[in-house]
């Protein structure tokens, strides 16, 4: 019986964890335009740089916008 409960728990986690990971926002900076923006997927392009402090990901766009105001390379013009 315990094995069935453990298996059911693992199946639920298998569906829930990928969905939770999808709600991540990153602060990125385009060095050519010298502007920061917020993206919902981790960039794979080498043209932009992820500037999240300490590699942090944000769960809401509002949280990322607030953090972007504190990132030095994003506030320097």
Three-point CA angle 19, 40, 14, nearest 5°: 15
- The verdict on pTM exceeding 0.75 is no
- Percentage helix, strand, coil, to 5, in the chain? 45, 20, 35
Q: Consecutive sets of 10 residues in the chain, 77 residues long: mean pLDDT of each?
A: 57 51 83 90 86 84 91 79
DSSP calls for 19-43 = HHHTS-BEEEEETTTTEEEEESS--
pLDDT of residue 46: 81
pLDDT of residue 3: 61
């Amino acid at each position: 019986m315990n094995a069935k409960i453990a298996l059911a728990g693992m199946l639920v986690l298998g569906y829930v964890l990928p969905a939770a990971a999808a709600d991540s926002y990153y602060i990125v900076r385009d060095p050519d335009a010298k502007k920061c923006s917020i993206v919902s997927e981790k960039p794979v392009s080498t043209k932009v740089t992820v500037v999240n402090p300490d590699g942090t990901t944000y769960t809401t766009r509002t949280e990322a916008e607030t953090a972007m105001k504190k990132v030095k390379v994003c506030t320097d013009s």
